[in-house]
Structure 1
Amino acid sequence: MIMIRAIIRPEKTDCVLASLMEAGFPAVTKFPVVGRGKQRGIKIGEITYDEISKNLIFTVVKPQDKDFVVKTIIKAARTGDKGAYGDGKIFITPVLESYTISSGIKELPSGELEEVKI
């Protein structure tokens, strides 16, 4: 299993979520975050904004779906044809195991399922 975390512009969030839903990946967690990238914030006139509002979305997918999901996010989150500074960043990490609380099922990267004894 692969976790995909994407930091995106707030105004692009609905488009990204709709694109993922349409592509068959409805399971997404989203929350607002603040931060800055390489550009070190934004300066408008005499005011510098160090922390810029973004949204963080993440999803867990099968390894064979990773590239497709990443491309779907990039296409939906990019500003214009070539993109712009501040469009965001995507991070990929392996997931060692996951647990479904309601059923007590543990899922391993191999796809193997195991019941957790409580």
Structure 2
Amino acid sequence: MKMVVAYIRHEAFEPIRTELLELGFPSLTITEVKGSGRQKGITERYRGAELTNYLRPKIKLECVVADADVQTIVDTILKHGRTGAVGDGKVFVLAVDEAYRVRTGEAGEEILQTHPGAASAA
């Protein structure tokens, strides 16, 4: 199992979510985050003072999938998240040693919720 963690622009989220749902991957965790990187800060004027904000808002998208499905998830994120400009974000793939369903105590890849239409079911 792998966890895909992506930091993306807000406007990229809905097309990514829609395509992942169509592919059979509805289970996502989304967090609104702020961070800094190569993207420059934005300078604004507020009550006569110049303020520079270096922390840019992003969406953190997380999902745990079977090893065979990782490339499908990454390709979908890259397809919809890429504008070609600084600040498009990053995607990380992390190993997941074990996973458990709290309700039943089941463990392993059986708990991953791929649905009909998922790349691994094809």
TM-score norm. by structure 2 comes to 0.78
Distance in 1 (CA, whole Å) between partners of 2:86 and 2:43 is 15
1:47–1:18 Cα change, 3 Å: same
Q: Secondary structure at the match of 1:5?
A: strand
- CA RMSD in angstroms, aligned pairs only: 1.8
Matched AA of 2:10:
P
In structure 2, runs of 5+ residues without a counterpart are: 45-49, 112-122
Distance in 2 (CA, whole Å) between partners of 1:112 and 1:55 is 28
In structure 1, runs of 5+ residues without a counterpart are: 114-118
- For residues 16-66 of structure 1, the C-alpha deviation after alignment (integer angstroms, 9 at most, x for no partner) is 111111122111110100001123x32446542211100001101111111
- Which position in structure 2 is the counterpart of 1:56? 60
- Moved segments of 4+, more than 6 Å: none
Structure number with the bigger relative contact order (C-alpha 8 A, sep ≥ 6) is 2
**Identity across matched positions, percent:** 38
TM-score norm. by structure 1 comes to 0.81
Distance in 1 (CA, whole Å) between partners of 2:64 and 2:79 is 19
After TM superposition, the structure 1 = structure 2 runs for residues 89-100 of structure 1, keeping only pairs within 5 Å, are 89-100=90-101
Structure number with the higher strand fraction is 1
Q: How many residues align?
A: 106
Q: Secondary structure at the match of 1:16?
A: helix
Q: Secondary structure at the match of 1:21?
A: helix
